Amino acid sequence: MTEKSTPSEVRIRQPLRWQIATLAHVRQETPRVKTLTLSLPEWVPHRPGQHYDVRLTAPDGYQAQRSYSIASEPERSGEIDLTIELLDDGEVSSYLHQELRQGDQVEVRGPIGGYFVWEADMGGPLFLVAGGSGVVPLMAMIRHRAARQSRVPTRLLFSSRSADEIIYAGELEKLQAAHNGLEVIHTLTRSQPPGWRGYARRIDRQMLAEAIAPLGEAPLTYVCGPTLLVESVANQLVGLGLPADRIRTERFGPTGSPA
């Protein structure tokens, strides 16, 4: 029985300490998604794909914690972007969306996670598959790729419900227009604007086969989104002949959804 290889460079880590970040900027990405830019007093470079934990404490000591993927590239020092979807009944996301104001402070610690990461020196080609806010850690990879002026052939297959729910739509368009090897393929599953020429259905085997074909035999593949999407995409990619050890997955809630 072989053991899954871990990245050769195992970094020596300091214990992860909580620090008090300041909300520097808020950007509304879509009706239910905001990006919070946090200034960190003890910023350290992250690996694209990693996350931070956020901890909220009530006056009586009650605490709630959640993990949020970092959207920004590590080349931007001193601060991080967390892109956060407002969940129905979300204890922490509703606070971050509706209560936290510019200049407010919030406790965080990170960066965390060492497998669902991509750095330019890992090469490619790179196949990224996102469902909804699953695009966030992939965006950190895409921004890092751009910051490092990497030319690794990269395709993002991105499933959103409707055109106004496409997170980072404008920035993705711009990055693609720079013609440096990034292609973005959208599918809109619920409604499409007039004249829509992209895909208009859930990601399926046919779509994956078409999206991955230009990348050759075994692109390094990252899949992030709701559990059902990730499970189905990963299974179909294996069915298409992609080696399982080339596929890295990250699944997220809303954790109340049966899975």
Partner 1 sequence: MSEPFISRGFTGKRRQPEAAERIPPGQYLTPGFPVLSAGPTPHTPLERWSFTLDGRVREPVRWSWEELLKLPSQSFTVDIHCVTKWSKLDTRWEGVSVDTLLEAVDLEQDARFVTAYCDGGYTTNLPLPDLLNGQAFVAYRYDGQPLAPEHGGPVRLVVPHLYFWKSAKWVRGLRFMDADKPGFWESLGYHNRGDPWKEQRYQGD
Residues that bind partner 1 (CB under 8 A): 1-7, 10, 13-16, 18, 20, 55-59, 61-67, 89, 91, 95, 99, 104-107, 112-116, 227, 230-231, 234-235, 237-238, 244-245, 247-249, 251, 253, 255-259
The amino acid occupying position 121 is D
| Residue 226 near residue 180, CB atoms below 8 Å | no
Min dist. Cβ of residue 47 to partner 1 (A): 11
- The residue among 117 and 175 lying less far from partner 1, judged by its C-beta, is 117
Q: How far is the CB of 69 from partner 1 (least distance, A)?
A: 12
Angle at 81 between CA 221 and CA 134, to 5 degrees: 35
- For the chain, the C-alpha Rg in angstroms (whole number) is 18
> 169-177 vs 135-147: helix axis angle to the nearest 10?
30
- Closest distance of CB 158 from partner 1, Å: 20
The residue (of 28 and 105) whose beta carbon lies closer to partner 1 is 105
> Which is closer to partner 1, CB of 85 or CB of 168?
85
Q: Are 250 and 135 in contact (CB under 8 A)?
A: no
Beta carbons within 8 Å of 103's beta carbon, 6+ residues apart: 22, 23
For residue 72, the minimal CB distance to partner 1 (Å) is 20
Q: Which of 235, 255, 36 is nearest to 136 (CA)?
A: 36
Distance CA 82, CA 9 (A): 26
For partner 1, give the closer residue by CB, 113 or 124. 113
Q: How far is the CB of 118 from partner 1 (least distance, A)?
A: 14
**What SS3 class is residue 232?**
helix
CB nearer partner 1, residue 34 or residue 66 = 66
Q: Between 191 and 255, name the residue whose CB sits nearer to partner 1.
A: 255
Give me the least distance between CB of 242 and partner 1, in Å please. 9
